[in-house]
């Protein structure tokens, strides 16, 4: 979809980002709790990984998507990044997730030299799984009863994209 600008988040984006996570249908597919304040979302990825990457997707001056990537600091896992992504429900199916993923892959492959990108996704989130598959992510396994939401336990699917295939 044209009209999507992917850029680094700015301090003034905190309210738009918090508004995305205010939707139960968004937060239900994350490991987060509902009702977090603007400051929490403004600082979320910076406090988890000050060297990480954070992206915002903007349409008509409004942030409608958010992606954060955590870079592994362990000496033997510096080639690995993990990420989380969310899109405002009013903009689902309009290319926002695809735009964020495209830029993350570009940064991972061409600037950060990451070989492995990994994530956990709620197993029933078929739209997200289809998006990740379209970028070369493969399912590596499933964790049973891994996430508690809406009063019940749910499973998460572990996925990864390998830029270089091992020679083993």
* Residue 8: per-residue pLDDT: 93
Which whole-number Å values give the CA distances from 72 to 66, 77, 81, 140, 146, in the listed order?
A: 20, 6, 6, 19, 22
Q: Where does residue 157 rank: exposed (0-12), middle (13-18), buried (19+ CB within 10 A)?
A: buried
- What does the domain layout of the chain look like in residue ranges? 4-121
Whole-angstrom Cα distance, residue 145 to residue 162? Answer: 26
The CATH class of 4-121 is alpha beta
State the Rg of the chain over Cα: 16
* Residue 150: per-residue pLDDT: 83
Query: And the tokens for 98?
Result: 């695809």
Place of tokens 């977090």: 36
> Count of CB atoms within 10 A of residue 127's CB?
13
Q: Is 53:69 a contact under the CB 8 Å cutoff? A: yes
2-54 confidence digits (pLDDT tens): 599 999 998 888 889 989 988 888 887 777 767 777 777 767 666 666 788 99
Query: And the tokens for 23?
Result: 């939707």
Query: And the tokens for 115?
Result: 């070989």
* Residue 106: per-residue pLDDT: 96
Whole-angstrom Cα distance, residue 144 to residue 17? Answer: 30
The pLDDT of residue 1 is above 60: no
What stretch of H or E contains 100?
Answer: helix 96-110
């Amino acid at each position: 979809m044209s009209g999507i600008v992917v850029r680094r988040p700015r301090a003034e984006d905190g309210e738009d980002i918090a508004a995305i996570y205010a939707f139960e249908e968004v937060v239900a597919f994350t490991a987060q709790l509902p009702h977090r304040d603007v400051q929490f979302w403004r600082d979320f990825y910076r406090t988890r990984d000050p060297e990480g990457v954070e992206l915002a997707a903007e349409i008509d001056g409004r942030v409608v998507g958010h992606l954060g990537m955590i870079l592994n600091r362990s000496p033997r896992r510096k080639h690995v990044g993990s990420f989380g992504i969310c899109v405002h429900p009013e903009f689902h199916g309009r290319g926002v997730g695809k735009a964020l993923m495209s830029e993350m892959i570009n940064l991972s492959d061409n600037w950060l030299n990451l070989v492995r990108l990994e994530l956990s996704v709620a197993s029933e989130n078929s739209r997200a799984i289809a998006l990740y598959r379209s970028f070369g992510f493969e399912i590596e396994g499933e964790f049973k009863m891994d996430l508690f939401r809406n009063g019940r336990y749910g499973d998460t699917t572990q996925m990864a994209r390998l830029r270089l295939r091992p020679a083993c």
